[in-house]
């Protein structure tokens, strides 16, 4: 139990880091509490591919010894995290949910993993992903209802945080996989701007749409993690050179935002239940002082989805060009279909899709100058029953354009499943985006723990 009486596994990353610094708990106590929580719940949820018990305990002892001597490596000293099983982790298997990479053990950490460790965080283990982060489902279940999907491809990343088995997790998004799963599981999640966070050491699905993102139970935790991992990586040419602002300080400047509501397409395509909960949330935001105006999508939005899928399929085929020919029968149907479709895309069509993407991104930058954030429902429906990973249609435009997005919980469906609001900001506008998300979180509240 923490000094305040709450179980240690209930602490957010920010709360846990403060408790360790203030000597209200030790890193080893926190790790043991999370391991006990995993033992109590993961047989049902199936979030973890691998739990590195010995490694986590050894790092916790090291962190505890340093803390006792007043040495803190960074803002996450002693705080455990989980990583989707496409992130390289030195000495631990990274198999991407595929038998093709069975037994692959990298010799170095992904940059995001390395930066979290440098900030004092402890890697607890690897979390289930769909095969190669596409659509062939992982075994993971939604902690809110085990008969429903947690979303994908970052399935284990969302489920583990929702079930209180860890407070923060790394995921990735090429189409919708950092925003949709946390929404289905009642969490906050962020997909930063393309290039804000290094993808070095992440098993690639594409070269120009893969984003590293994070899931947590609070916007404050998202800001804390982004502060640690953002920034130029000399080993990754796709990372941007823009300076990294103080994201946590930005949360201190929260104010009622100017919100552009994208009713067109998004409110038209969501089901009645999502529309009802979204309208209720909008009413609460307006009542608290937010300025909400409906804005129109640019004409280039009509081709954003087609361009995004063309790019994704073509680049996925390229990423698997060496592995696929000798292993085609070992690939599952979803990823196999994407690769084979990508192999058929003519070069001129791929180049046209890249040009259309540039036009759409430029149009969205102009639209975003009018408001602080754009707003949509995060998903068209609650988490579907069964194992399909859900529809990423509400995320694709922001993945293809590379602009940053956040999801925050906004309520529950009549069947008790979480729903979220998606906020969108200009490129490298993560600081005001997090401030707006934090304000919305204060107004709408966080969801309780699911009874898994």
Give DSSP secondary structure letters for 12-49.
Answer: -HHHHHHHHHTTSS-HHHHHHHHHHHHHHHHHHH--EE
Check residue 263 and report its DSSP letter. Answer: I
pTM of the entire structure? Answer: 0.98
pLDDT, one tens digit per residue, over 288-342 is: 999 999 999 999 999 999 999 999 999 999 999 999 999 999 999 999 999 999 9
pLDDT of residue 4: 53
- Closest by CA position to 181, among listed 388, 424, 434: 388
Active site residues: 84, 153, 177
Residue identified by tokens 């209200």 is 24
Question: Which residues are registered as beta bridge partners of 422?
Answer: 376, 407
Asked if residue 100 lies in contact with residue 323, where contact means CB atoms within 8 angstroms, the answer is yes
406: three-class secondary structure by DSSP: strand
Check residue 209 and report its DSSP letter. Answer: S
Residue 89's contacts (CB-CB under 8 Å, 6 or more residues apart) are 83, 106, 109, 110, 113, 123, 126
**Series of mean pLDDT values for 10-residue runs along the chain (452 residues):** 75 98 98 98 98 98 97 98 98 98 98 98 98 97 98 98 98 98 98 98 98 98 98 98 96 92 97 98 98 98 98 98 97 97 98 98 97 98 96 98 98 97 98 98 97 94
426: three-class secondary structure by DSSP: coil
- Closest by CA position to 47, among listed 138, 147, 161, 127: 127
Beta carbons within 10 angstroms of residue 287's beta carbon: 9
What are 8's two structure tokens?
Answer: 């240690």
Domains of the chain: 12-300+358-444 (3.90.1300.10)
What are 391's two structure tokens?
Answer: 């529809």
Instruction: Give the angle 114-208-98 at the CA atoms, nearest 5°.
Output: 65
């Amino acid at each position: 139990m923490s000094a305040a009486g709450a179980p240690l596994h209930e602490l957010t990353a920010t709360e846990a880091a403060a408790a360790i610094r203030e000597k209200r708990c030790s890193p080893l106590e926190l790790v043991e509490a999370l391991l006990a929580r995993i033992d109590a719940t993961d047989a049902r949820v199936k979030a973890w591919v691998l739990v590195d018990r010995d490694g986590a305990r050894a790092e916790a002892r090291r962190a505890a010894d340093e803390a006792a001597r007043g040495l803190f490596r960074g803002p996450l000293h002693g705080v455990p995290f989980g990583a989707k099983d496409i992130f390289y982790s030195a000495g631990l298997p990274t198999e991407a949910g595929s038998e093709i990479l069975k037994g692959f053990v990298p010799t170095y950490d992904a940059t995001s993993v390395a930066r979290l460790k440098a900030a004092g965080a402890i890697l607890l283990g690897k979390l289930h992903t769909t095969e190669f982060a596409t659509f062939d489902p992982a075994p993971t279940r939604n902690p809110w209802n085990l008969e429903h999907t947690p979303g994908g491809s970052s399935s284990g990343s969302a489920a583990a945080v929702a079930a209180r088995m860890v407070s923060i997790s790394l995921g990735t998004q090429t189409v919708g996989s950092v925003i949709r799963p946390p929404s289905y599981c009642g969490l906050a999640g962020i997909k930063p701007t393309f290039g804000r966070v290094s993808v070095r050491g992440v098993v690639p699905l594409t070269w120009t749409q893969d984003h590293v993102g994070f899931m947590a139970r609070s916007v404050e935790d998202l800001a804390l993690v982004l502060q640690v991992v953002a920034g130029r990586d000399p080993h990754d040419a796709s990372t941007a050179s823009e300076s990294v602002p103080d994201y946590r300080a930005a949360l201190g400047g929260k104010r009622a935002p100017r919100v552009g509501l994208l009713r067109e397409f998004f409110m038209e395509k969501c089901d009645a239940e999502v529309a009802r909960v979204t309208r209720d949330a909008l009413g609460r935001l307006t009542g608290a002082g937010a300025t909400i105006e409906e804005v129109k999508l640019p004409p280039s939005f009509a081709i954003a989805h087609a361009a995004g899928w063309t790019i994704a399929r073509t680049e996925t085929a390229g990423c698997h060009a060496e592995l696929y020919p000798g292993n085609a029968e070992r690939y599952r149907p979803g990823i196999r279909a994407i690769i084979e479709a990508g192999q058929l895309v003519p070069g001129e069509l791929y180049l046209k899709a890249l040009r259309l993407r540039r036009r759409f991104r430029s149009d969205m930058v102009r639209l975003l100058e009018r408001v602080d954030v754009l707003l949509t429902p995060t998903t068209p429906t609650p988490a579907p029953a069964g194992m399909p990973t859900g529809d990423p249609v509400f995320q694709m435009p922001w993945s293809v354009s590379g602009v940053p997005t956040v999801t925050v919980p906004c309520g529950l469906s009549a069947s008790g499943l979480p729903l979220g609001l998606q906020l969108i900001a200009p490129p490298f506008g993560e600081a005001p985006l997090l401030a707006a998300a934090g304000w919305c979180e204060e107004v709408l509240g966080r969801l309780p723990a699911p009874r898994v």
